[in-house]
């Protein structure tokens, strides 16, 4: 297990030709770019938590010949012209790893502004896709707009969050009781402790749901909450008959985070590392339009779902989810359906261990699940790539990087038919690939646009 997580991986800046087995669809042209912790020992410094390692980017390029590259993130070298520091344009100390993109190509993201002018708040900001004609030489970041701010429930203990949700008219932000201790963070380096040690979960706290109206840029005033939970990933969100429906992968504690200390990632990790909380795909259904004179204790949900929202005496709304399925993580969807009613989730299957052993396709409507697995294989987050001529939500392919438990066996990029979940082909590379976290597929035409 140490060979996968704890050992430094090597850069491969020059393209390496992959050995293709099976068939790669001719329409699949572009680059799969993936990122994850790849270096945990730098000189005399050593990181103790897997999430704290320096980023190592790797890519597979589809253009006549399939090629692989791996390089340390530019942020670890001298600054480059393409490197952006959010702090120069907006007062945030941390930002999410999962920005959203609207139909106009604008980027929407959220970040935490810590003790700025005596307040800690969560900022929603927008980066335009282009700049006005008279400012063509200026960066889009100079046109960055703070859309809305949400006050943190605590000045020195803001909520940790990794993602947020979006619908046609609303932003969905979850303030969970998995919190950063700002004073501990400020002294972490001097004390020689990890960033992860500055996080704490309070199981007796509430989890608050915030909804920002994208048209008015104001937060919905009604207070919605659920029980304490820990989550990292939104799946999707959409609106239906006056309700906001949003799906997340959630836990009842923070045991997942604690498992990835490097001291725990030993040869017995798979056998001994068991989550005390299984990840569950939870669907919350929140009525924004409801009878204000509704009886206290009554369920306000009026669309088909086992999820409930109950009016409390103090006017707050207590939400309980519908459980769609268990045991999946690192969810991805067809992004053309982001913010819309959808069917399919593509994810890793983990069950009670944080190590993924299968790739899953889950139908949120029928609850059916298709799986891909192979002995001695650890697949990564699956990325859905739509067929440009596709007509249905699952017309396309799913790409996942697969590592072998035996370091002598070569890793490969797996290409699955997204509809049938059968293998179309694989691209084998004779390199020591690292276990990654997230990735994106950039179509060839978008790469050309960036170059121009």
Binding site for Fe cation, by residue number, is: 98, 162, 233, 438
Distance CA 396, CA 109 (A): 27
Distance CA 450, CA 452 (A): 5
Distance CA 17, CA 69 (A): 9
Q: Which residue has the tokens 């009886």?
A: 295
Residue 301 has which token pair?
């949900």
Residue 143 has which token pair?
């046109």
Cβ atoms within 10 Å, residue 215: 9
Distance CA 29, CA 46 (A): 39
Whether the Cβ atoms of residue 31 and residue 442 lie closer than 8 Å to each other:
yes
Distance CA 336, CA 340 (A): 8
Exposure of 384 by Cβ count < 10 A (0-12 exposed, 13-18 middle, 19+ buried)? buried
398's enclosing H/E stretch is: strand 396-404
Whether the Cβ atoms of residue 355 and residue 4 lie closer than 8 Å to each other:
no
Binding residues: 98, 162, 233, 438
Distance CA 276, CA 299 (A): 31
User: SS3 for 374?
Assistant: coil
DSSP state of 327: S
Distance CA 179, CA 166 (A): 23
DSSP 58-96: EEEEEESEEEEEEEE-GGGSS--TT---GGGTS--SEE-
Whether the Cβ atoms of residue 407 and residue 432 lie closer than 8 Å to each other:
yes
Residue 42 has which token pair?
């730098």
What are the angstrom distances between the C-alpha of 233 and each of 59, 280, 329? 23, 11, 8
Distance CA 263, CA 260 (A): 8
User: SS3 for 50?
Assistant: helix
């Amino acid at each position: 297990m140490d060979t996968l997580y704890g050992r430094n991986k090597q850069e491969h800046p020059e393209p390496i030709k992959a050995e293709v087995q099976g068939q790669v669809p001719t329409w699949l042209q572009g680059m799969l770019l993936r990122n994850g912790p790849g270096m945990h020992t730098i000189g005399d410094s050593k990181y103790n938590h897997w999430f704290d390692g320096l980023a190592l980017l790797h890519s597979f390029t589809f253009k006549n010949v399939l090629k692989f590259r791996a390089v340390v993130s530019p942020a670890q070298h001298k600054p480059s012209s393409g490197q952006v520091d959010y702090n120069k344009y907006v007062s945030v100390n941390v930002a999410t790893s999962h920005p959203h993109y609207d139909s106009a190509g604008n980027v929407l993201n959220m970040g935490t502004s810590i003790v700025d002018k005596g307040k800690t708040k969560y900022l929603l900001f927008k980066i335009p896709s282009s700049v006005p004609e008279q400012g063509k030489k200026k960066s889009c970041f100079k046109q960055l707009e703070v859309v809305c701010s949400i006050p943190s429930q605590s000045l020195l203990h803001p909520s940790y969050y990794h993602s947020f949700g979006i619908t046609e008219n609303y932003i969905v932000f979850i303030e969970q009781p998995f919190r950063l201790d700002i004073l501990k963070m400020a002294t972490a380096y001097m004390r020689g402790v990890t960033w992860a040690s500055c996080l704490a979960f309070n199981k007796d706290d509430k989890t608050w749901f915030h909804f920002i109206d994208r048209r008015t840029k104001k937060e919905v005033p009604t207070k919605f909450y659920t029980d304490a939970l820990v989550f990292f990933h939104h799946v999707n969100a959409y609106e239906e008959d006056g309700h906001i429906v949003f799906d997340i992968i959630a836990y009842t504690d923070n045991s997942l985070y604690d498992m990835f200390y490097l001291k725990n990632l030993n040869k017995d990790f798979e056998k001994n590392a068991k989550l005390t909380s299984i990840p569950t795909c939870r669907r919350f259904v929140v009525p924004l339009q409801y009878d204000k004179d509704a009886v206290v204790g009554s369920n306000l949900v009026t669309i088909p779902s086992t999820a409930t929202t109950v009016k409390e005496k103090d006017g707050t709304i207590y939400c309980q989810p519908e459980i769609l399925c268990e045991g999946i993580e690192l969810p991805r969807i067809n992004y053309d359906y982001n913010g819309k009613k959808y069917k399919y989730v593509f994810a890793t299957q983990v069950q009670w261990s944080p190590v993924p052993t299968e790739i899953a396709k889950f139908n949120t409507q029928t609850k059916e699940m298709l799986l891909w697995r192979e002995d001695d294989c650890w697949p990564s987050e699956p990325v859905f790539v739509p067929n440009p001529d596709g007509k249905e939500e699952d017309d396309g392919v799913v790409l996942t990087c697969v590592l072998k438990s035996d370091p002598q066996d070569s890793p490969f990029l797996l290409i699955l038919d997204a509809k049938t979940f059968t293998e179309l082909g694989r691209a084998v590379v004779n390199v020591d690939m690292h276990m990654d976290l997230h990735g994106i597929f950039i179509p060839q035409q978008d790469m050309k646009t960036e170059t121009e």
